[in-house]
Amino acid sequence: MQIAIDGPAAAGKTSLGRALADHFGCLFVETGKMYRAVALGLTRGISLDEIEITLDENGRIFLNGEDVTDLLHTPEMDQASSRVATLPEVRERLVALQRRIAAGHDVVMEGRDIGTVVLPNADVKIFLQASPQERARRRMQERDGLDYEETLQEIIARDARDSTRKVSPLNPAPDAIIIDTDQKSLTEVISEAIDLVKERLRKVDASAEGRM
Ligand code: C5P
């Protein structure tokens, strides 16, 4: 089974993805971490050709063998990763890595282009939406010491870059289910998504039986 979750920065994709992966017993893959790790490598002066990204089964991420998981979620890496994500050669390499990981597993994968590019045949595609203001408030709850106005402006800048880049701009897949999370708690979003996945799996089972 493949579940794709896409949406803009701080829309709640990671919390939802982890909950779905736990519930359905799937591997959970956060593709944003990969773009962040490449951005960290480039800011350290490593050339793209020399950058090797690997993950372990716990979701820890390694840059040329070094565990960099705890260095990736900073305002600097938020912006640097969204710049790096506009480069076609970076996307090509990371999409190939993401497809390799998904090929061997039942997977919940989250990012910006999972339902459109990485896993276009995913069984369920969810696109999470929320206003920039709500997303800025959520980001402030996750990280200490942030200023609201600055966080909001950074989210707006990242949205603009993610939606206007030439390769794989952020867009819901035509067959994605869009969930607007502005007025919903995380618990409500998770339970809505679990119901959606169950319903989709029932349909897949029913059509497989029809074919027998
Ligand atoms: O999801 P996260 O905020 O960690 O992603 C970091 C950046 O990586 C995003 O701002 C986006 O530009 C980029 N990204 C992407 N495609 C993905 C995942 C992330 O372009 N599948």
Q: Tell me the CATH number at 118.
A: 3.40.50.300
Query: What is the residue range of 64's domain?
Result: 2-210
Cα of 75 vs its chain's centroid, Å: 17
Those residues with Cβ within 8 angstroms of residue 193's Cβ, 6 or more apart along the chain or in another chain: 16, 19, 20, 126, 179
Which residue puts its alpha carbon closest to atom 21 of ligand 1? 111
Residue 98: closest CA among 40, 145, 55: 55
- Residue-wise pLDDT tens for the chain (212 aa)? 999 999 999 999 999 999 999 999 999 999 999 999 999 999 999 999 999 999 998 889 999 999 999 999 999 999 999 999 999 999 999 999 999 999 988 999 999 999 999 999 999 999 999 999 999 999 999 888 889 999 999 999 999 999 999 988 999 999 999 999 999 999 999 999 999 999 988 887 787 777 66
Give the dihedral of Cα atoms 23, 98, 163, 175; nearest 10 deg: -60
For residues 9 and 161, what is the distance between their CA atoms, to the nearest angstrom? 11
Q: How far is CA 199 from CA 32, 108, 117, 129, 146, in A?
A: 28, 16, 24, 21, 40
Nearest atom in ligand 1 to 110's CA: 21
pLDDT tens digit sequence for 127-141: 999 999 999 999 999
pLDDT tens digit sequence for 19-31: 999 999 999 999 9
Ligand 1 mean position, distance from CA 9 (Å)? 7
For residues 36 and 153, what is the distance between their CA atoms, to the nearest angstrom? 19
How many domains is the chain built from?
1
pLDDT tens digit sequence for 102-134: 998 899 999 999 999 999 999 999 999 999 999
Nearest atom in ligand 1 to 168's CA: 20
pTM of the entire predicted model: 0.94
Q: What is the CB < 6 Å shell around ligand 1?
A: 9, 31-32, 35-36, 81-82, 85, 111-113, 158, 162
Query: Which pair of structure tokens corresponds to residue 24?
Result: 């359905």
